[in-house]
Structure 1
Amino acid sequence: MEASYQVLDQLYKKMLLGAPLESDSQEYAFYLNLPFSAQDLSTSNFLKWPCVHHGNQATSVNMDGISTPSTSINLKMNFQVSNPRDIMLLQLTVIKMMITKILSKKLEFSIQEKYCDIIEILLKPYELESKLISTFHSSDKLLSHMAAKCLASLLYLQLREKAVVNKTWTAFCLKTLSDYPESNTVSYCLWILTAVIKEILKTTCLQKAEILKQFLTSFDFLFEVFYCSVFSQHFENYEDTSLNPKITNFLICFLELLEILMASRIHLKLYLTCQRIFYLKIFCALDIITWPIHSLVKKKFIILIKRCLLHKVGEDVLNTSLPTLTEQDPYLDMDMLALGNAFLQAVNLGWLKQLSISAKPSHFGGNEVQPGNKSGVVPDLIIIRASSLVLLKSLEIKVHNCMSANEVKAELQKFMSELLTFLKQHLHSSLKLHHHCEWLSKIFIEQDDDMLEAAKASLSIYLKLTRAWNEAAKGMTQEKETWDHQTHENGFNPHCIFLFLLKNIGFDATVLLDFLISSETCFLEYFVRYLKLLQGERNNFSNVCELFDTAELRDEVYASSIVTSLVEERSSNQATHQPLFCGTNYYALLPLASDTTTSGTNMERKDNQTVKSKQPSVLIGVDDTSSSGASQSLVDYDGSEDSEEESVEECLSNIKQTPLNHQVITKIRGTVSATGGKSQKYLASAARLLDPKEFSALSSFGCVGASQTVLSCKALKCLKDLEKAISRLHRRHLFPYNPSALLKLLKHIDATNRNK
């Protein structure tokens, strides 16, 4: 036993060094030969292994016609091995490393040829693949996993070097899938399929599309039956399935296989049934959220749907972005429509109501809060974000395939109502929605890529519906006002969404610049579309800004009547006064139907405890960016050796906002209290009583007319600063792409603002 271990250990070290192997290939293959089955791992059967010598004999042993060579390898006895499991683990490790070295093509030709000879001997006389498959029945999970890794590498080696699909593997795969759920090795089968497809996608071989098609064709006809069988099982007859690691592991392996199959469709332009089945038969799979299984599986399932709708399947698995669709997928539009319609149909049947959202915080996979942990219990925002984005993308697809304006209107109101009801039910009190359009900024604040995808989808829906509504209304003013009201009521007004975004980042143009430079989000596409919309809807934008300012000002007045003592304490203890009540309901006065937070009467019913419980939150968009928590640029743009005196940071230094002066705030409140019956226009005028420095900055920008509001000035100034930053970087040839079209839009908006 020790002799076998020493031979394998010496072989392993030589392979690490890339040293040549002196002995004959047959001898090395003899020591790498695995036991015939998992039962042979017992100590009694281990003595019958063909690679085990008895004592120091140099005689040959005949096992099933295979001769045992006398050892000619120099051994040094440094270890005492008493466990046959160690021998097999080392054998699997050496075999896996040998295949990896062959695939790397970085060895000398003679060494690589030697490795290939050893693998060929292991395959033909010793039937390596059959022995690896038999190991899957072992109760030792480490041995089974190592055997699966070896088999995956071996299958890929045969595919790449000889364009051959292993017949033994094919028979095992077909039998395993057809015998489900009785088969006990299905998880290994799925894992190996996934691993081989990953390797094919990562290779630089020009024929990888043909290789993958050859590999998948053998079981493609059976995969649809297997898929339906999995999602019709429900695991209702299993006890405590949520904690059953076998079921959890199987479902995760299956979802990962589905994702890599769909990723291979996009990468290699293949359209087999197994690559399209998730799109076409998603409806039968949506019941997975009601199964008694681990929440991790449900989370991965919803995220997989999201990635399908965003065309991002496989990005995390392959650690690479998907290629640009140079050739149009002939089935993509049809498949995406089928996926979106199926999801909306499920939502219409109460899918969101059945979706359970855990109320416990997740601590690195744990499910209990540790003693001394005072963190508040929050809902699982990952599932909430993914579900919301899937619904929004499905609705976008549905809207773009609807024909009539009435049909579009009905679909929008029905599903956005479902979404907003779902969010209000599950969001924590700190994330409570004060305005329907605020939902997007609230739940996606920690996931900027998904937030911008949601904003883009919402904008796309708005543009489609606006065209349909304009055609139906034919310029009628009352119909136009009704449409504007419904965009707020259904939470997808693009101006509200953009303003909430700007408030979240403190009107910092450097953050927008980072978004534009980054390739990790769709901000450029969204931003260009919104700027084009802003050109034609400047009045709508100004109206929304005025409503924001009015709501914020009234809320300040209401809060001041309750916490006057707090104001006085802060004014006496602080030399620099910070904005107050930034966590209160600024947007409660925006016109919303069916929202109980929008009426002044309801505001007056709030008690002191409710207002006191409101805490400052970045979600509300504090404008005090001069504080220590101010937004900072994600990229250092001052690294250029250009001799120009003014850096990009200097160009953007005027973005920072000055806090409101306490006396000015008090003056505003007093004025509004004394003129409560005045119009909203008067309140908007009062809101412009700002700190002199801030008022001077906005005045120099052109925000001095009666038609301008504070929020409008801040937003347009942010866009102007962004334009300056982009122009400066472009002149220095530091911008990653040509921003001419973007600059043209920004300059047009600035010119329109100055001409008003």
Structure 2
Amino acid sequence: MKFSDGCLADVCASHRGSMELTESSAPSSCRELLCCLADCHRCLLRGSPPALSAAQVAELIFSGVCGQVPGGQVEKSADAVWEVTGFSLSLLGKICCWVSAQSLHGDSWAAILRLLLEHMDVMAQLVHHFRAEDQLISHLAAKTASECVFYLLSTSGTVSPAWQWTCVQAFSSSPPAPELDACLWSLTEVLKKLLRQSHPELLGELVATFDCSLTALCCKLLPADGTEVPVSGRWGTTVCLLLDLLEVLTMSGVTRGGGVPLRSQRIPGLHSAALLTIVSSRSEYFVKKRILLLLKRFLLQKLGDDWSLEGVLSTARERRGPSADGRALAQSVLKAVADNWLQSVQVEHAVFFGGARRRQQNEGLKPDGTLLRAVSLVLLKSVELHFQTAAAGVDSRMEVNSYLGSLWTFLRRCNASQVEVTHPCSWISLLFGEQDDDLMEAASAFLSIFLSYRQCSGLEDFSILEEACASGCNPHCHFVLLLQSLSFDHSILLDFLISSETCFLEYFVRYLKYLQADWLGFTAACGHRTVPLADSHGSEPGEGLRPGGSAPPLEESSLGVGLRIVEYDSSDESAEETPDPNKQSESPTTVMGDVSSELKTKPSSSVVQSDQECPTAAALLEQGACDTLCRVVSCLSELRAVVTRLQTKKLFPYNPSSLLKLLAHIENCHQRSPLALSQK
């Protein structure tokens, strides 16, 4: 908001003559000062100008921020000073926020802000509070300073010298302390605001200002090779604040376009080994978890997903592709896994809204699923990136088996499934079933790994699928298990296709292209796969399982009808569905057909068990497997029909023509298969 020269002159004249006006009516105690500030706050909430002049209000706020009574008297009560200081900081921050958003009428509040920032140097007082031992005052000061800095940047393009100097000094030399924490939080908040408001030039200039000092800070806080990781509580808090800042900095480097990112915008890649070292060290558990979540978002290219950046995120995703830093991180992860890094990663029990829970006797607590999913996705994406960028002709078979074998061993050690897993392909449903966005990312990564594996293996299709099942990366198994977890409900697939919250569309199209080229392998996966040995998602550990951790017989398991990723039937907003006579009253035995008896007599370690070099579809499938295959094809056919109907009515959010062609081709593959022809 701009001021006219006449308005500024009147305000400054009012400020110069305000002492005579306020000496007789100035508050004489912190209590009176608090009442005056409360009156100003009520006017602000109403959107009306304050009853006092701009100079008087500015002096009241400045006195409150300093913790002093305008008359110069010293308040003896520390609680009263604390209350006035906190209220003044909050009021100043709200004024800054509302003036920046131009949500206030008139120039009075903007004039107050201009007086405080340009004539009273309130920023020097704000950064002084950064080092306050009281965490609330320090945080309020950082929050208010961030609002003021953003206001100055957006109106005049200048950075407060006091704020800049304080932050640079803290980043360059300060040990973990309240001042450093406040500076980290404040800079993070300012950068987020600039990202939201799409100020790329200001963003780039600000990052460049702090590039050297932030690089020095990362070298100081993140351990070098052979350096022992600190375990103090203050260090952990500071590192978590640094991780938040690193996410914003990396995001700012992604959104800047074709420019070369600064060193401080590349920390996750440059210091990836140090970050992995912290995860395997004796540092606090919450620090390890935050690091893994940051690395996961970095590899998935989902930085800033929870910041409501909208247009910024869509722009960044348009430039989606593996970066040099992403490849460097992937190589660090794979090197660490080869050096038995997973054996040193500790996983605690899952926490709840009420905090952690002590384990009772004979009670099995679930491990921390968030951390397990993060570790798994970091490794899977690293393997995917490694093979995407590997030289042509590189044999990936041994590497895939080694990395995925290490992951399954890690998950078993952490008791991730609560039951014995005999078929590695079922890990994807067991581990990611409660988090659909992670599930789709994992399925997409597995598909990429398998396609790279298949391209360089030189084996025939059935031999490849056997090895893929042994490694847990058979895409046919994953897709059938996904549909089973959705109860073969095409409407949920439609939700995934329309939603932008997962990468399902990308995964679905890639898988359908592969499926039409390997229909026989898909039919084999329908007929010779094990059902995942797990309880329903979200249920208590061991519920529905036999004592001692053994799985129930297939006909007794509730898994026969599938595990829903989301319990749509329990939602109050779900529409009532008309019972389908073909789907209702189906027992698990009907769903899986006679596969249960086949599974009891055949090994379950692989999806494909072949006694012939080229088995026919009739030899691969019995009636139970035929039922599973028909349900999959029926689900895809229903999906094609509803997408076609929506496209005809111009209600589908994008052009699905290519997808519809793929779905139609899958139906043709089924109709031309020997099994379908034999049933006609």
Same fold (TM over 0.5): yes
Give the counterpart of 1:383 among 371, 380, 387: 371
Judge conservation of contact 1:505–1:631 (CA < 8 Å) in 2: no
Judge conservation of contact 2:188–2:245 (CA < 8 Å) in 1: yes
2:672 maps to 1:755? yes
Give the counterpart of 1:255 among 243, 246, 249: 243
Q: CA deviation at 1:340?
A: 0.8
Relative to structure 2, which stretch is displaced further, 285-294 or 615-624? 615-624
Equivalent position amino acid for 2:506 in 1: E
Give the counterpart of 1:407 among 386, 392, 395: 395
Equivalent position amino acid for 1:408 in 2: S
Q: CA deviation at 1:300?
A: 1.3
Equivalent position amino acid for 1:709 in 2: C
TM-score by length of 2: 0.81
Equivalent position amino acid for 1:491 in 2: G
What is the CA deviation profile of residues 546-602 of structure 1, one whole-angstrom value per residue up to 9, with x for unaligned ones? 223xx67xx9xxxxxxxxxxxxxxxxxxxxxxxxxx978xxxxxxxxxxxxxxxxxx
Partner of 1:544: 525
Judge conservation of contact 2:132–2:179 (CA < 8 Å) in 1: no
Partner of 2:169: 175
Distance in 1 (alpha carbons) for counterparts of 2:184 and 2:197:
20
Judge conservation of contact 1:193–1:257 (CA < 8 Å) in 2: yes
SS in 2 for 1:175: helix
Q: How many residues align?
A: 617
Equivalent position amino acid for 2:44 in 1: M
2:281 maps to 1:277? no
Judge conservation of contact 1:279–1:335 (CA < 8 Å) in 2: yes
What is the CA deviation profile of residues 111-169 of structure 1, one whole-angstrom value per residue up to 9, with x for unaligned ones? 33x32332333234432111111112222222221111111111111111010011111
Equivalent position amino acid for 1:536 in 2: A
Structure 2: gaps of 5 or more residues: 1-28, 534-542, 602-609, 674-680
From the superposition, tell whether residues 547 and 535 of structure 1 become closer, same or farther in structure 2 (CA, over 3 Å): same
What is the CA deviation profile of residues 329-357 of structure 1, one whole-angstrom value per residue up to 9, with x for unaligned ones? 8x952121111111111111121111001
Judge conservation of contact 1:668–1:689 (CA < 8 Å) in 2: no
2:214 maps to 1:223? yes
What is the CA deviation profile of residues 28-65 of structure 1, one whole-angstrom value per residue up to 9, with x for unaligned ones? 2221224797xxx5xxxx5xx4455799xxxxxxxxxx
From the superposition, tell whether residues 616 and 148 of structure 1 become closer, same or farther in structure 2 (CA, over 3 Å): farther
Partner of 1:129: 123
2:442 maps to 1:514? no
SS in 2 for 1:149: helix
Judge conservation of contact 1:259–1:304 (CA < 8 Å) in 2: yes
SS in 1 for 2:476: helix
Judge conservation of contact 2:487–2:562 (CA < 8 Å) in 1: yes
2:531 maps to 1:502? no
Partner of 1:658: 586
Partner of 1:423: 411
Equivalent position amino acid for 1:744 in 2: K
2:183 maps to 1:266? no
Partner of 1:71: none
Equivalent position amino acid for 1:214 in 2: E
2:657 maps to 1:740? yes
Give the counterpart of 1:295 among 271, 285, 305: 285
Give the counterpart of 1:199 among 190, 193, 213: 193
What is the CA deviation profile of residues 296-350 of structure 1, one whole-angstrom value per residue up to 9, with x for unaligned ones? 2211110110101111101113364712348758x95212111111111111112
Give the counterpart of 2:453 among 462, 465, 477: 465
SS in 2 for 1:21: coil
Q: CA deviation at 1:654?
A: 4.7
Equivalent position amino acid for 2:97 in 1: T
Judge conservation of contact 2:65–2:84 (CA < 8 Å) in 1: no
From the superposition, tell whether residues 23 and 222 of structure 1 become closer, same or farther in structure 2 (CA, over 3 Å): same
From the superposition, tell whether residues 635 and 339 of structure 1 become closer, same or farther in structure 2 (CA, over 3 Å): farther
Give the counterpart of 1:340 among 330, 334, 339: 330
From the superposition, tell whether residues 730 and 682 of structure 1 become closer, same or farther in structure 2 (CA, over 3 Å): closer
- Residues 614-629 of structure 1: pairs in structure 2 closer than 5 A: 614=552, 621-623=559-561
What is the CA deviation profile of residues 7-47 of structure 1, one whole-angstrom value per residue up to 9, with x for unaligned ones? 2222111111122235433222221224797xxx5xxxx5x
Distance in 2 (alpha carbons) for counterparts of 1:630 and 1:684:
36
Judge conservation of contact 2:376–2:407 (CA < 8 Å) in 1: yes
SS in 1 for 2:425: helix
% same residue: 29
Structure 1: gaps of 5 or more residues: 56-79, 556-581, 585-607, 640-648, 691-707
2:443 maps to 1:446? no
Partner of 1:353: 343
Q: CA deviation at 1:289?
A: 1.5
From the superposition, tell whether residues 337 and 633 of structure 1 become closer, same or farther in structure 2 (CA, over 3 Å): farther
What is the CA deviation profile of residues 454-504 of structure 1, one whole-angstrom value per residue up to 9, with x for unaligned ones? 10111112122222234xx5xxx5xx5443322111111111111111222
Distance in 1 (alpha carbons) for counterparts of 2:286 and 2:498:
34
What is the CA deviation profile of residues 706-727 of structure 1, one whole-angstrom value per residue up to 9, with x for unaligned ones? xx73322222222222222222
Equivalent position amino acid for 2:210 in 1: F
Distance in 2 (alpha carbons) for counterparts of 1:421 and 1:415:
10
From the superposition, tell whether residues 150 and 129 of structure 1 become closer, same or farther in structure 2 (CA, over 3 Å): same
TM-score by length of 1: 0.73
From the superposition, tell whether residues 383 and 267 of structure 1 become closer, same or farther in structure 2 (CA, over 3 Å): same
Equivalent position amino acid for 1:21 in 2: P
Partner of 2:21: none
Partner of 1:212: 203
What is the CA deviation profile of residues 69-112 of structure 1, one whole-angstrom value per residue up to 9, with x for unaligned ones? xxxxxxxxxxx99812222222212211221221121322xx33
Equivalent position amino acid for 1:93 in 2: S
